[in-house]
Amino acid sequence: MKQLDLGKDKISKLFINYSIPAVISMVVISLYIIVDGIFVSRGVGPDGLAAVNIALPFIQALNSVVIMICIGGGVLTAIKLGENETKEASRRFSFTVIIALVFILVTSLLSLIFLDTLVELLGADETLIHLVKEYLVIMLSCNLLFQLAPIMENFIRIDGRPSFCMIVSVIGTIVNIVLDYILIIKLNMGLTGAAVATCIGSGLSGLTMLTYFLSKKSKLRFTRPICNIKLLGKMLYNGSSEFLTEISSSIVLLIFNIVIMKKMGSLGVSAISIVLYINTLVIMVLFGISQSLQPIVSYNLGAGQVDRAKQGLKFCLITTQAIALVSMIVVFIFSEPLVNIFAKENRELIEMGVWMTRLYLTCYLFIGINITSSAFFTAVEQPLMSAAISLSRSLVLVIIGLILLPRIIGDSGIFLSNTFAEVGTFFVSLYYLKKYFNKKRDRYLSNNKKAVI
C-alpha cells in the first residue's frame, strides 16, 4: 500500500483514496452494529433491542469524549506533519493516546461501581433493567478493547494509510458477526453474548492497528509525550465540536427513549431502535466521508496551501449531500422489508417502525452539508463554528422541535424534530462558510495591497 502525499497528490486522488477506505470502514462498523441488532432481535426479542437502545446513550457519551481527545489531538498532529516536524507530531500523538486510555480506564471503573444508579438514570423500566445491566457490565468491563480501534484508526489515517484501517476493520467485523452467531444463537448467551462479540471484534481491530505504530512503516511513533497542559486544552478545544455532536446525540437519544417509553411503551422503544439501526448505515457513511476531509485540510493548512483545502471541502460537500438524498429515496421505498429484518413478522412492530422510519429519514434533505461543514471547521481550527453547527443539528434545534412539533401535528412531530433541526442548521452552515471564506478573501486582498504599496 503506497503512502499518500497529502501536500502534493491531486485533491481528487486524495479524496478518493481517503474517502473510499473511510466509507468502507464505516460501513463495516455499521454492519456489525446492524448485525448485532438482527441477532439480538432474533435471539432475545424486542425487549433486547429496547435494552440495547437504552444503554447506547451512555456508551456514546463515553465515546464522545474519546472522539474529542483523538480528533483534537489528530488536528494538532496533522498540522505538525504538514510543517515537516515529525518528531513533534509523534510527541503529540503519544500524548493524545495516553490521555484517551486513562480516560477510558477511569470512567469505566466508576461506571461499574455506580451501575445501579446509572441504569435508573437511563430510563429503563422494571422489565428492562436486568437486560440493560447485563449488556453494560460487559461493555464497560471491556471498554478499553472496544475503544482502542477508533483511537488508532484516526492516527493511521493521518499517517497516510487509510486502506490499512479499512482492511483491519473488515476483519474485526467478520469476527464480530461470527461470534454473534455463536454466542447469541448457538450458545443462547443473550445480551452478554452480543457485548462480548462486539468487544472482541473491535478489540482485535484495535490491537492490530496498534502494531502498525510499532513497525517501521509509520511516520508517527510512540515516544516521550509532550505532557503540556496548554496543549491538552488546545486539543480538547479543537475536538470540542465532535464531542458536542456525539454527546448531544446521546442526550437526544436519551430524551427520545424517555418520551417514547411514556407515550408508546417498550414496543415504541423497540421500533425507534430499528429506525436508528437503519439510520446508522447512512450516517456512518456520511461521517466516514467527512472524516476523510480532516487530514487533507489540516495537513494543507499546516503547509500553507489554502486552495487545496478549499478543493477538498467542495468534493466532500457534493459527495455527502448526493449520498444523503439517494439514501432517503431508497430507504423510503424499501422501509417495510428493512424494518422486517429486525421485527420478525411482528405486524404491530413493523407498522410502527415503517411509520417512524419514513418520518425520520426526511432529515437527510440537508444532513450531508451540515456534517461536512462541521468537520471542515474542526480541520481548520475553528471549533466554535464547528460546535455551533453540531449543537444546532444534534441538540438545540432537536429539543425545540420536540417541544413545538408534537403540539402542532401530534406524535409525528417527535420523529420530524430531526428534520426541523437539519433544515435550521443548513442556514447556520451557509452563514459560517460564507463568513469564513469572506474573511480569507479579505485577508488575501489586504496582503496583496500591502505588497503592491
pLDDT tens, position by position, 106-148? 999 999 999 988 888 887 777 788 898 999 999 999 999 888 8
Q: Kindly list the distances between the CA atom of residue 85 and the CA atoms of 115, 219, 294, 343, in Å, as whole numbers in the listed order.
A: 45, 11, 18, 54
Q: What pLDDT, on the 0 to 100 scale, is given for residue 445?
A: 57
Q: What pLDDT, on the 0 to 100 scale, is given for residue 2?
A: 55
pLDDT band for position 7 (cuts 50, 70, 90):
low
d(CA 105, CA 116): 19
Site of grid cell 447512512: 282
d(CA 35, CA 182): 13
Q: Which residue has the higher pLDDT, 244 or 168?
A: 168
- Does the pLDDT at position 449 exceed 60? no
- Does the pLDDT at position 430 exceed 80? yes
Q: What pLDDT, on the 0 to 100 scale, is given for residue 421?
A: 94
Q: What pLDDT, on the 0 to 100 scale, is given for residue 447?
A: 61
Q: Per-residue pLDDT averaged across 333-352, rounded?
A: 87
Cβ pair 190, 33 in contact under 8 A: no
d(CA 379, CA 377): 5
d(CA 6, CA 354): 44
Q: Which residue has the higher pLDDT, 296 or 135?
A: 135
φ, ψ for residue 326, nearest 5 deg = -65, -40
Residue range 299-323, pLDDT digits in tens = 776 666 777 777 878 888 888 999 9
d(CA 218, CA 213): 6
Cβ pair 48, 131 in contact under 8 A: yes
Q: What pLDDT, on the 0 to 100 scale, is given for residue 453?
A: 42
- Does the pLDDT at position 444 exceed 60? no
Q: Per-residue pLDDT averaged across 175-184, rounded?
A: 90
- Does the pLDDT at position 248 exceed 90? no
